Amino acid sequence: MSEEIKIDKSLSKEEKYKQLLPQIRSLVEGERNLTTNLAQICAALKYGMDGFFWIGFYFVEGDELVLGPFQGPVACSRIKIPNGVCGACAKRGEAIIVPDVDKFPGHIACSSLSRSEIVVPIFKEERVIGVLDVDSDEYNKFDEVDRTSLEEIASLVSSIS
């Protein structure tokens, strides 16, 4: 059986997410291993969307975020909450869009190539259990379209966690 994700590259970002989200849902529906599903979501987003340089999950462990499945270069294994964009997102419990990472006080540069970033929280029973982090090597890559779609993925992750 083909597990290929099919995205029409000529579509707008919004339309690409619209094509991708149902495919991600059906990909994880048939599998109950969380690590497998998180790894698949990262790959689907990295290769389905354009300009996603790094994508991955961090999960809350005590007062820290610990790296989960990701796609892209090696990243920081642990981030203290509320440090960096990820820690700030976990602390605030809301999405953070950073158009230029050098302008975000305390941004943690896991890769010097990262230029912009979006982090969305993952909730379980109203508590933040983790974050979904996407970095781009282009400035200004992320907007409300990304926020809405990545929040849908965060809620899917919550439902399978």
Interface positions with ligand SME (CB under 6 A): 54, 75-76, 79, 84-87, 107-108, 110, 114, 117, 133, 135
User: Largest alpha-carbon pair distance within the chain?
Assistant: 47
Residues in the chain: 161
Taking the complex as a whole, how short is the minimal distance between the CB of residue 30 and ligand SME, in angstroms?
29
Give the residue with the Cβ less far from ligand SME, 45 or 86.
86
Taking the complex as a whole, how short is the minimal distance between the CB of residue 132 and ligand SME, in angstroms?
11
Taking the complex as a whole, how short is the minimal distance between the CB of residue 71 and ligand SME, in angstroms?
11
In 3D space, the residue among 47, 87, 13 whose CA is nearest the CA of residue 39 turns out to be 47
Give the residue with the Cβ less far from ligand SME, 16 or 107.
107
Taking the complex as a whole, how short is the minimal distance between the CB of residue 100 and ligand SME, in angstroms?
12
Which residue's C-beta sits nearest to ligand SME? 84
- Please enumerate in sequence order all residues whose Cβ is within 8 A of that of 44, keeping only pairs 6 or more positions apart, or say none: 5, 20, 23, 24, 27
Taking the complex as a whole, how short is the minimal distance between the CB of residue 73 and ligand SME, in angstroms?
8
Give the residue with the Cβ less far from ligand SME, 104 or 123.
104
Strand partners, 61: 64
- Please enumerate in sequence order all residues whose Cβ is within 8 A of that of 72, keeping only pairs 6 or more positions apart, or say none: 46, 53, 54, 55, 56, 111, 135
Give the residue with the Cβ less far from ligand SME, 42 or 79.
79
Buried b (16+ CB within 10 A) or exposed e, 79-116: bebbbbbbbbbbeeeebbbbeebeebeebbebbeebbb
Give the residue with the Cβ less far from ligand SME, 17 or 54.
54
